Structure 1
Amino acid sequence: MVSIRTSAQYQPPTPRFILAQPGLAGLMENLGLSATLAWLDDEPLQPGRLYWALHQHRWVKAKVTRVLHRLDIHTLEQQSAERLEANGIGRVELQLQAPLPALGYAQSRALGALILVDSASHRTAAAVLLD
């Protein structure tokens, strides 16, 4: 019997290309992204906490570095906030461990959205729409 053990920091190489339709301009590969986020978890969003981001088929570690503001759903006004509660909607800045091929959600629903999953509880924490 043969077993292979890898360190926790090892990530196998991934292809650095994406097949796209003609005219799909503006594809970005950034470690820092701004986005609109709908918070789904019962635990409030705490900036700096580690999450997994699922974009298409790829998992990448991510942190919400800052909550820019939250949206009051009754008045549609932007309110300053340091965190988001369950069912809260807000604008955030994300920091990714590795770049993702992404577009703004208005340009591509597939490349402009991702899911945040809590790295400790494995619960779906947020639905994210990229700018």
Structure 2
Amino acid sequence: MPPLPPLPSTVARTRAAAVASLLGLIVLGLAWELWLAPTGQKLLAWKVLPLTIPLAGLLKNRMYTYRWVSLLVWVYFTEGVVRATSDHGPGVPLAVIEVVLCLVLFAACATHVRWRLQQAKDGHA
């Protein structure tokens, strides 16, 4: 397989933001449920498993992955909002961080798709 052509800097930045926020959600979810504010149910750490699936697609710059991740992220956003408003103690700031990471991931994916489609339309991709 030939190497991928270099991405324009704006698209590369959105890709980096998407990958970083996705990795942040994975690390946060594991740390939250296993060490930082465990609920006593270690099985809740499995909630991050769906987040690991799109990582390869984002790293390979697959447009389809950016599209469906922008939908998947709303599940985690909802969890963060619910836990930020109903939990007590260390779970509240962790939930706020989750919400912020979800918003960054959504914005990065949506912007990435939009800019790549615009480039394709303009004949640059």
Q: Give the shorter-chain TM-score range.
A: under 0.3
Determine which structure has the larger helix proportion and give its number. 2
Q: Output the TM-score relative to the length of structure 2.
A: 0.26
Q: Output the TM-score relative to the length of structure 1.
A: 0.26
Determine which structure has the larger strand proportion and give its number. 1
